[in-house]
A and B are shown apart, each in its own frame.
Chain A
C-alpha cells in the first residue's frame, strides 16, 4: 500500500509557559516539533505498512526549516519525504493549504491512503484532512481511533464520535485523520536517524505543483485575520485567603450564592 502522511512543524506548546505577569506566551527557547497528532498519523501508517507492506511518504508544507520534520519522519521509519516550500505559500489558510497539499499528492503516482493527524496544535482547525479528501475527490473517515481490518482494497475503522464511535468501511484510495487512541507512537530508530542525517529532503514550490501565486498562500486564502487580541479575563478573579478548610467552605457558599451550583433536592 502506498501511503502519504501529512505532517506539520509546530511550536512545542506543551512546553510553552505563560508569563504570570502579562499572561502572554513565553516564546523564548520554544522548540519546533512535529505536530503531536501527526505522530499518531505516522504510527498508524507504520503499523499499516507492517501489516500489508508498501511505502510511506511524509509530506509537509512550511518554511525551509520545516525540512527538519521530514527528516524526523525518516527517523521514525518512513521511506521518503517531500517538503512544499515557497515564499508564495506563506500566510495560507486551510483552503490555500489544501490546494498545495492536494496538488502535491495528485502528482504522486498510485497513492492508496492519505493519513493526517486529527488537527495541528498551533491552529487547531482539523480542516486540512477533509479539505484534501474533497479536493482529491476521495472518501474519508475523520477521527479514526482503531483499525479493525486493513487490506489493500479497504480499511474498516472505528471513528470517534462525541457519544461513542462508528465502525466505518473505507474503500481505497481514501483519506483518514487519526486520534491518539490509534496507538502510542514508537520511538524513532537508530537506523532511521542515521538515514535521516544524510537524507536530502526534496522540495517543491508553487510552480512545480502547477499552481499560480494567487491560488496559494495569503493571496489564495478565503479567510483573513483582521484582529488579534489578548483574551479578556472573564469575570472577576479572586483569591480566597485564610486556612484551607475555611476557603473550602467559602468557595461553596460563593458558588451557591452566585447560582453556579444548584443545591436542588
Chain B
C-alpha cells in the first residue's frame, strides 16, 4: 500500500521527493511517482504545497484490545540484585504519563532475592509493584522471563509498558511483545501522550539518527517501548512512599530451557561507556595510538571515560570496547568531547543525543560541527592542554 498522488494537482515541484525518508518517491515526466518503499508515514503529504498527496487508511484486522486496557507499567530490570539507573528514569517518565492519563503506575519486578526492591520502586513513583521472586528467575533466561511477564500482562492488561533499551531489555522485551502480540518501538528518546486518542507517541531516531520518527500502536495493547538510557528525567524520590505489592507466583511447569552457567562482571571503564556522565572520544585526527594518552588525561580530569571512533579501532589504536557509534556503543552522556573526530554518520548516530557536545577538529567543514554545541576549529594538541591547564587552575591546583 502506498500514498495516493493526484496527478492533476501535482506540479512536479519535487518537495515530496526531498522529504521522503524512505526513497519511495521520484519525479517522472514532471510528476511525482511512488514505489513500494512507501510506509505511509505521511511526510510527503505534510509538505506537498498543492495537497496532491493523500495517505490512505490501512485496513487492519479489528483489534479491540484498547478497550479495557489500563495503566502505565515499567519493567524494572535488575541484574544480580542491582537495578540500573534507567529504571528510575522509566519510573520518572512513567509517572508523568500515568498522571496525564489519570491511571496507576505499575512496575514489574522479576528475579530472586528481591527483598527491599519493591519499596525502592514505590519511592521512585510506582503505585503497584508486580513481583515474581523465584529462584528460576535468578538469572536472565529469556523464555521463562517471557512466560511470566506475558502472563502478568495478559492478566492485568496495562495500556503502556516501558522498558530500558539495555542489553537485558533489548534481549527480552521483543520476545515479550511477540508473546502478547503487540507492537514494540525500540530505543525511544521521546514519549508523550496524545490526549484525544489516549495513544502513546513514541519518538525514536531512524535512518542513522538523521530523522526522527514518531510511532504509534493504535490498536494492540499494551503499547510497548524500550527507552534509551539517560534520556528521560528521574522523578523526585519519596522515601517511605507506600504502594500495593502484588506477588506473582510461577507455575509448576515454568522452566527455562537456557541455563546461565556464570555471570561475569567486568569492571573496566569501557563497559561503563553507556552509563558514563562524560565521554571523551578520540578520532583519526589524533594521528596515532599515542594520541589516546591525551584523550585519557582529559577524560580523567573530567571524571569521564574514553571513547573511540571506528577508524581508530579499525586501525588498532584502541580496543573495540571503546567504540562509540552504530557498530559500537550508543551513548548519551551529559558531556561528550570529540577530539579529532570528523563525524561520520555511523559515529554521530551513537552520540548525538548527548546533552552537550564539544568538538575539536582542524577541519572547519567536519560534519561533527553540525551537531556540536561548542565547536573549536584548531589543533587538539594545542586545545586540550589548554583545557587541562584551565581545569587544574580552576580547581586551585595551579596551572
Contacts and interface: CB of A to CB of B under 8 A. Distances in A.
A217 B216 CA distance: 16
A239 interface: yes
A47 to B, nearest CB: 18
A255 B394 CA distance: 12
Interface residues of A, dominant DSSP = mixed
Interface stretch (B93-101, B129-137, B241-249, B259-267): B259-267
Interface stretch (B7-15, B111-119, B154-162, B179-187): B179-187
Contact of A95 (B142, B177, B206, B212): B177
A54 to B, nearest CB: 21
Interface string A225-265: 11111110111111110011111110111111010110111
A174 B60 CA distance: 32
Interface in A1-42: 13-14, 16-18, 20, 23-25, 27, 36-37
Given A36-B327, A225-B214, A252 B394 contact: yes
B387 A166 contact: no
B237 interface: no
B140 A166 contact: yes
Contacts of B23: 27
Interface string A137-162: 00111110000000000001011111
B160 to A, nearest CB: 14
B171 A251 contact: no
B166 interface: yes
Interface stretch (A73-81, A85-93, A200-208): A85-93
- Interface residue range, chain B: 35 or more
Given A93-B183, A256-B394, A127 B59 contact: no
Nearest to A141: B258
B394 A219 contact: no
A221 B40 CA distance: 12
Contacts of A254: 374
Contacts of A63: 36-37
Interface of B: 1, 18, 21, 23, 36-43, 58-61, 79, 84, 139-143, 146, 166-168, 170-172, 174-175, 177-179, 181-187, 201, 205-220, 256-266, 271-272, 274-275, 278, 302-303, 310, 320, 326-327, 334-335, 343-346, 348-349, 352, 355-356, 358, 365, 367, 369-379, 382-387, 389-391, 394-395
Given A169-B258, A217-B1, A224-B215, 10 more contacts: A13-B345, A18-B370, A162-B166, A164-B265, A218-B39, A223-B185, A227-B42, A227-B213, A238-B373, A263-B395
20 contacts: A17-B345, A93-B183, A123-B186, A125-B174, A127-B170, A139-B142, A140-B143, A164-B263, A166-B139, A174-B258, A214-B60, A218-B39, A228-B41, A229-B211, A231-B209, A234-B373, A239-B375, A245-B385, A253-B390, A258-B356
